[in-house]
Structure 1
């Protein structure tokens, strides 16, 4: 199959998945257990996307300035810095490491 057919199938499945959400009873959505599960899934998805974007380069694993940027941002979070400071710490660390030759 061509790429366009797969793209259209993915769009249709995404639309149907979103449409199915409208048919979920409200009583199920107000359940505290369901809120906890949804929150946990969101955290897991964000963590996995962060790691994949940090160490993946195509289909291989690479350790470059992105790992240092993630470490600097993690340290800033651990020190309870505001979000803007966390972003600036990560960006500054990445810029510094790239300047030193860590592509």
Structure 2
């Protein structure tokens, strides 16, 4: 086994643990203004939306197709209407599957 790979894995694991521990440990020492907290909340939503859009619209270096995009859109609509998570996932899957069955890619 490659010792460099084991060492790199151990260092990355320790770094990840340190970052996760630093949040709660430093939270009491640092105060953020209400504006910064609002911006951070907005940033989380924007980053999550960008991740969903990227996953829904692309596959590799091209367009993922209509079926996946429509499935994600239907799932997003159901989530926005506050449907239970199982219903959201099933609606998205059924939409994508039906469109693929009809021959859309």
- After TM superposition, the score normalised by the length of structure 2 is 0.64
Unmatched 5+ stretches in structure 2: none
Q: Which range is displaced more, 23-32 or 82-91?
A: 23-32
Larger Rg: 2
Question: In 2, Cα distance between the equivalents of 1:101 and 1:44?
Answer: 33
Aligned to 1:56: 58
Q: TM-score, normalised by structure 1?
A: 0.65
Return the alpha-carbon distance in structure 1 between the equivalents of residues 29 and 39 of structure 2. Answer: 15
- Paired with 2:82 and 2:21, the residues of 1 have a C-alpha distance of 39
Number of residue equivalences: 99
Cα-Cα RMSD: 3.2
Question: Where do 5+ consecutive residues of structure 1 fail to align?
Answer: none
> Which residue of 79, 88, 91 maps to 1:89?
91
